[in-house]
Amino acid sequence: MRILKNNLLNIFILLIIFGASNSNIINAQIAQEIKWLRVGSLHSWFSSFGAEIEVGRIAEQLDGLRWDAQFPYQNHQAAKGLWIGTTNYDDRFLKTTVPHKVIAVGTRSADAVTEIIPTEFKMEGRFNAPIVIVDGDIATENKLNDIVDEVNEDLPADRVITNSLNSYIGLSYTRKLMAFSQQDHDNYYIYDYTFKNTGIIDAEGNTDPKTLTDVYIFLQFRYGFGEEARLCACGWAPNQNIAWGRNAVNHQIGQDPTDPNFEMRAQYTWYGKHSLADYASLGCPYFDRDGRMDARQYVGTVTLHADKSPQDNTDDPNQPSTTVSIGSDTEQYGSNPFNTGAMTSKYLIMNKGHEIPTHAEKLGNDFADLYGNDGGGYSQGQGFGPYTIAPGDSIRIVVAEAVAGISKVKSNEVGLNWIKGLKGEINSFEMPDGSITSDPDTYKDAWVLSGEDSLLNTFRKALDNFSNGYNIPSPPPPPNVFEVQSGGDKITLTWADNAESWPNFKGYRVYRAIAKADTFYNLIYETSPDNIVNTYNDTEARRGFDYFYYVTSFDDGSTNNGVTLESSKFYTMTNKGAYLRKPAEEVLSAVRVVPNPFHIQARKLQFGVDAGDRIAFLGLPAECIIKIFTERGDLIETIHHNDGTGDELWDSRTLSEQILVSGLYIAYIEVTKDIYNEEDKLVLKKGESIFRKFIVIR
């Protein structure tokens, strides 16, 4: 860690005191590090600064908490924050005792000079991410986003990030972030916090031990929805504010542990009705087409444990003592640890108590975007405390964060039925409880709202996992090497045999998607118990299509009440397409353009729904150049074909990134190297050429 000089620190303090802006700031004196947890269906990034601030990684409002991460545009995290407040603090910089001292990370700033000091940031894993290769190239997102610093086979989870920080009030904290790949536990993370009064107050390790009184730990969660609708224009997205969370609905349960119906302490959020939609917008359905829903998810947190005091480490059912919805723009604030008024305002939010009725209860059936006067909508806040923490004392707080809802398959089915109902094509709909309704809006909304039960069930699994010491059965490890090789009449898949030493190992499964990686996959092969192999030839692949794969290992179900456990798809999922590649031809007369004509109305039938405006040049020599001209002779694209096969795929984009318009086009193919056959006979001379015409119809 870089050691900060006192003069640099003092200069920066003066800048803050005299009003330097700190909205969406990550102070550059200490570089932020980023690590990902992406072994299950929930993917998210984490910051070495102790919380994930708004626009803290990339310039996007929604970034993180992707579920189901198999599909694109599934982000639900807008901002996170962690505030620590204490009372009657003798501030050495202000040289006075302030009534409230609050240091903060997030939701809009992270200051590694005057508030927090990162000291450790590492990720351990039960095993390293597998090596995944397609046609000789590394072909996995895990190459960059699942980097294990240490292998520890005895970990309680597949991946554990340890993030430790000191703070300028002398309270250090460590958060252990856990992710599981087991299919019943792969859509939540565990956040295990320990806050210890070490007295360390700066980056140089100086100490100022003092007892901290009335300490509150305040966690903030700003969630947003509808990213898929906004970015794909495939649903209803009137403006940016659905991503801000303007119509997010917040609810809290379990504020009173003496209630006979008390079960858990949880806060969660969902996509509420929006006033600008002229139809039933719950779920953000794709109204103009197939009805699929782009905001079917529920997201939130459940408290697993909170110490009663530093002297009593049993769980306190009265914690968190504050559960509120707070204005995302008006109450979350930028951070200023030297503005006494701002710190008092923060502290009063941190110890505000329970919001009863909750945001959701006050809102009722009204439009969520019209509630209140905060332009950014409302976020979740939970405060743990008050604690008195003397030097050497510590407090432990454990929460789980989860995303759940109806499946993508089910949401597509429900959305399509809803559209058909609005058109009068069907008039009977099965509700989640098995009853029947004739109202398509009631039907759709009921299925979206059933996501609440899915989230609560996920919370129950997290509670059970924690209470049992993370002793859930684990699936077999994935193959540690997976390789895909394109061929002329088949695509060959091979994988390592390391999983076969697992005690209850039973076999392997191979899954395939067409045209893109982030879509639905189908099971295409499963080994039999008496024929365990480590290779598979996909002979059903069709020429001109891209294919993506993953391979899993699975057990016999003996450790999970007869239910098979399977390694995570995300360990071996490829991100580079493999496709059939015929051998190069030795005569130019074999060259052809497919399809010809290319018709925009039929493109989904030509090379798959997601292939775009693809045109294939087939029957090519091993090395050649393809020049494409308009009918009047304008050169619009040049393609260098040199992979030694007979195929070249083109996305119909010109040199200037324009899509081809309707018309007649001419392809000029010229051999760029003398080509010899297996008998070493010259079959094509450099410079030989041929023309092919093709038509585009839009």
Residue 673 counted as domain residue? yes
Of the pLDDT bands very low, low, confident and very high (cuts 50, 70, 90), residue 292 is confident
Residue 238 confidence (pLDDT)? 54
Asked if residue 306 belongs to a domain, the reply is yes
Could you identify the residue written with the tokens 């895990």? 142
pLDDT tier for residue 244 given thresholds of 50, 70 and 90: confident
The parent domain of residue 57 ranges over 6-126+150-405
C-beta of residue 171 within 8 angstroms of C-beta of residue 193: no
Structure tokens at 151: 């292998």
Mean pLDDT of 455-464: 98
d(Cα 475, Cα 283) in Å, to the nearest integer? Answer: 33
Comparing 104-108, 357-361, 470-474, which segment has the lowest mean pLDDT? Answer: 104-108
Instruction: Find the mean pLDDT for residues 231-242.
Output: 63
Q: Domain holding 565: CATH number?
A: 2.60.40.10
Answer whether residue 578 is part of any domain: no
Whether residue 188 is found in the same domain as residue 278 = yes
Q: Find the mean pLDDT for residues 225-231.
A: 83
Note whether 64 and 201 are same-domain residues: yes
Please name which of 473, 468, 462, 464 lies closest in space to residue 555, comparing C-alpha atoms: 473
Does residue 207 sit in the same domain as residue 108?
Answer: yes
Q: Who's near 69: CB < 8 A, 6+ residues apart?
A: 38, 41, 42, 43, 570
**349 by DSSP, 3-state: which?**
helix
| Assigned domain for 428 exists | no
CA separation for the pair 191, 629 (Å, rounded): 59
Least confident of 23-37, 49-63, 137-151, 187-201: 23-37
d(CA 611, CA 592): 19
How wide is the angle at C-alpha 204 spanned by C-alphas 198 and 208, nearest 5°? 40
C-alpha span between 397 and 319 (Å, rounded)? 9
Q: Assign residue 604 the CATH number of its domain.
A: 2.60.40.4070
Residue 607 CA to residue 595 CA, distance in Å, equals: 9
Using 50, 70 and 90 to split pLDDT, how confident is the model at 228?
Answer: confident
Banded pLDDT at 600 (limits 50, 70, 90): confident
Higher-pLDDT residue of 40, 227: 40
The predicted structure's pLDDT at residue 10: 39
571, 596, 623: which is the final residue of a domain?
571
DSSP string, 115-142: TEEEEEEEEEESSPPPEEEETTEE--TH
The pLDDT of residue 240 is: 66
Cis (ω within 30 of 0) for the bond into 337? no
User: In this structure, what token pair is assigned to residue 352?
Assistant: 């505000």
CA–CA separation, 528 vs 454, rounded Å?
A: 34
217, part of any domain: yes
For the chain, the average pLDDT equals 92
Contacts of 561 (CB under 8 A, 6+ apart): none
CA–CA dist 448, 298 (Å, integer): 9
pLDDT at position 604 is 65
Q: Are residues 547 and 609 in the same domain?
A: no
Sequence-separated (6 or more) residues with CB below 8 Å from residue 424: none
Indicate whether 504 and 608 sit together in one domain: no
The string of pLDDT tens digits covering residues 425-442 is 999 999 999 999 999 999
CA dist., res. 334 & res. 16, Å (int):
11
Work out the number of other CB atoms within 10 angstroms of the CB of residue 272.
Answer: 27
Per-residue pLDDT, 241? 84
Please state, in angstroms and rounded to a whole number, the distance separating the CA atoms of residues 162 and 551.
30
What pLDDT score was predicted for residue 14?
35
Residues 6+ apart with CB under 8 A from 361: 251
Contact present, 499 and 572 (Cβ < 8 Å): no
| Short-list 112, 88, 116, 78, CA closest to 343 | 88
Instruction: Return d(Cα 470, Cα 524) in angstroms, integer.
Output: 33
Please report whether residue 102 resides in a domain.
yes
Residues 316-334: what's their mean pLDDT? 92
Same domain? For 292 and 348 the reply is: yes
Q: Say what the pLDDT of residue 311 is.
A: 98
Peptide bond into 503 cis (omega under 30): no
- Residues 565, 619 within the same domain: no
DSSP result, 394-413: EEEEEEEEEEEES-HHHHHH
Query: Binning pLDDT at 50, 70 and 90, where does residue 29 land?
Result: low
Residue 340 has pLDDT above 60, yes or no: yes
Name the one residue in this structure whose structure tokens are 């809009």.
108
Q: Going by DSSP bridges, is the β-strand pair 109-110/25-26 parallel, antiparallel, or unpaired?
A: parallel
CA dist list (Å): 628 to 107, 381, 659: 52, 59, 13
Share of the chain above pLDDT 70, in %: 93
Q: Are residues 262 and 365 in the same domain?
A: yes
Q: Yes or no: say if 444 and 430 are a contact pair by the CB < 8 Å rule.
A: no
pLDDT at 24 (0 to 100):
53
* Mean pLDDT computed over 646-661: 90
Show which of 371, 405, 439 is a domain's final residue. Answer: 405
Q: What percent of the chain lies above the pLDDT cut of 90?
A: 80
471: in domain: no
Q: Of 22-31, 63-72, 298-307, 329-338, which range is least confident?
A: 22-31
Integer Cα distance of 353 and 514 in angstroms: 52
Tell me, yes or no, whether 640 and 567 share the same domain: no
Q: How far apart are CA 543 and CA 489, in angstroms?
A: 9
Residue 613: which pLDDT band, with cuts at 50, 70 and 90? confident
Question: What pLDDT score was predicted for residue 200?
Answer: 96
pLDDT at res. 333: 66
Is residue 137 in some structural domain?
A: no
Judged by DSSP in three states, 453 sits in: helix
Q: Are residues 518 and 647 in the same domain?
A: no
Query: What is the pLDDT averaged over residues 17-24?
Result: 39
From CA 171, how far away is CA 517, in angstroms rounded? Answer: 45
Q: Are 175 and 55 in contact (CB under 8 A)?
A: no
CA dist., res. 247 & res. 277, Å (int): 12
Q: Are residues 53 and 178 in the same domain?
A: yes
The β-bridge partners of 548 are 513
Distance CA 542, CA 423 (A): 37
Tally the domains of the chain. Answer: 3
**Predicted confidence band at 3 (pLDDT cuts at 50, 70, 90)?**
very low
- Domain termination site, one of 405, 432, 451: 405
> What pLDDT does 608 receive?
65
CA atoms within 13 A on the CB side of 304: 27
Whether 597 and 563 share a structural domain: no
The CA distance from 121 to 240, in Å, is: 34
The b/e string for 451-474 (b: 16+ C-beta within 10 A; e otherwise) is bbebbbebbebbbebbeeeeebeb
Identity of residue 491: I
